[in-house]
């Protein structure tokens, strides 16, 4: 997956809560000053289906508003 190649060493992968075999890929910022910022990609069958960015812990919440 290109996301994993682009953000080598900065990704934490966890199982998707609702998609069997899917994953969340959380990318940490490089700068220590931005340590609370994340990009979270959602994948299904090896393809990115959604992404979001923001401040932890809010960006890590699975259920979205609306």
What's the pLDDT tens digit per position in 24-62? 999 999 999 999 999 999 999 999 999 999 999 999 998
pLDDT value, residue 25: 97
Residue 6 near residue 25, CB atoms below 8 Å = no
Q: Considering the entire predicted model, what is its pTM?
A: 0.90
Which tokens sit at 29? 């910022």
pLDDT of residue 66: 55
Residue 66: count of CB within 10 angstroms of its CB: 2
């Amino acid at each position: 997956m290109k996301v994993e190649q682009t953000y080598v060493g900065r990704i934490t992968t966890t199982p998707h809560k609702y998609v069997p075999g899917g994953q969340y890929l959380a990318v940490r910022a490089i700068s220590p000053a931005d340590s609370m910022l994340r990009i979270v990609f959602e994948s299904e069958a090896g393809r990115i289906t959604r992404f979001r960015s923001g401040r932890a812990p809010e960006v890590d919440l699975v259920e979205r508003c609306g």
